[in-house]
Amino acid sequence: MLDEKRIVVTGGTGSLGKVLVRRLLSGELGKPEKIVVFSRDEAKQHSMRLEYQHKTAATDEVIYHNFQQILQFQIGDVRNIHSVSSVLRDADVVFNAAALKQVPACEYFPYEAVMTNIAGPENIVRAIRENRLPVETVVGVSTDKACKPVNVMGMTKALQERVFLTANMACPDTRFICVRYGNVLASRGSVIPLFHDQIAAGGPVTITDDKMTRFLLSLDKAVDTIFAALREAKCGETYIPRVPSARVIDVASALIGDRDIETRITGIRPGEKLHEILVSEEEANRTIERGAYYVIRSILPEVRDSEDISPALTTEYSSASDLMTAEQCLDLLKSHNLMVEDKVEYEGELLR
């Protein structure tokens, strides 16, 4: 499917981007002609370049033969239309993983989130439209916080979805699709590395509310969702993985185990939900099942096909709907080697 394709991964040095690049290089969808990691952090790019060339220190051939490799690196920012137009000029497939995703940071600097999470996607659409670029597919990566959003990060990601899905009308030769998923188990900044750090420090482990629930999935499951959408999605569709959810307090208890560590309830933080939602009530009416995924059809009748459907859901798809037991939560964490005694790596950093 991706044989001889030219691929761009924006935000390719982040948690998801790195796993996505690894999977693309594995050849499971075919051997691309080139994969370009497009981001603005030169240090992360350099570290990633060394990692893929199995080197511990830079030499001339590492730096100066960048554009002779299948995996290439390009400094740039999705906020800048000129950078975006340059990197997309011969792209076939674009994965947009660039984002400001930390909820508090987006609350304090909302316009920065607007620029990256909304203007960035619009620049991708604009570059394709104004330069008539022959991009075949653009995949927008979204989050459960975009569904009925209560914080700036979710609001901006919700608009990212709309920017991309509406672009199917402005750029009819390009397929724009999205994926939306919940908490990633091994991404830096999420709850599990926080709990690991708190346990390593002897506690307390802080829980905002003992009733709080979250969807949980691995980075590889997130990439599975992206690949499923790439293979199967029609214009304007959003792919949702059907994944387990758990009470956050059960996650903490599983990680603490028999250790004598206090669990402290601190209260829900600003911009935080008790339960996350992957499909809203409104979206449920146009959601179908396709394999292991829920698929939300476009809100725009001009984009979605006219096929009559039987909705797969009758109500919203919430993290409170079908919770794992405490034992199942423990088994999930063990299956992904995420217990405190494991050597857990987050974005290239070993926790211990």
The answer to whether 94 and 10 are in contact (CB under 8 A) is yes
**CA terminus-to-terminus distance, the chain:** 39
The answer to whether 288 and 232 are in contact (CB under 8 A) is no
The answer to whether 161 and 117 are in contact (CB under 8 A) is no
Residue type, 103: V
Residue matched to tokens 């991708």 = 124
**Residues in contact with 74: Cβ distance below 8 Å, sequence separation at least 6, in sequence order:** 36, 37, 38, 86, 87
- Give the helix/strand (H/E) hosting 287: strand 287-290
Active-site entry in 18, 145, 157, 273: 145
Q: What are the start-end ranges of the H helices in the chain?
A: 15-25, 42-52, 60-64, 81-87, 103-108, 110-114, 120-131, 152-170, 191-200, 219-232, 248-256, 281-284, 326-335
Q: What span, in angstroms and rounded, lies between the C-alpha atoms of 60 and 181?
A: 40
Q: What span, in angstroms and rounded, lies between the C-alpha atoms of 244 and 87?
A: 37
Residue 332 falls in which region: left (phi positive, over 0), alpha (psi -120 to 50) or beta: alpha
Q: Is 323 exposed, middle or buried (0-12, 13-18, 19+ CB in 10 A)?
A: middle
> Is residue 157 among the annotated active site residues?
no
Residue matched to tokens 């949980």 = 216
Q: Which residues are catalytic?
A: 145
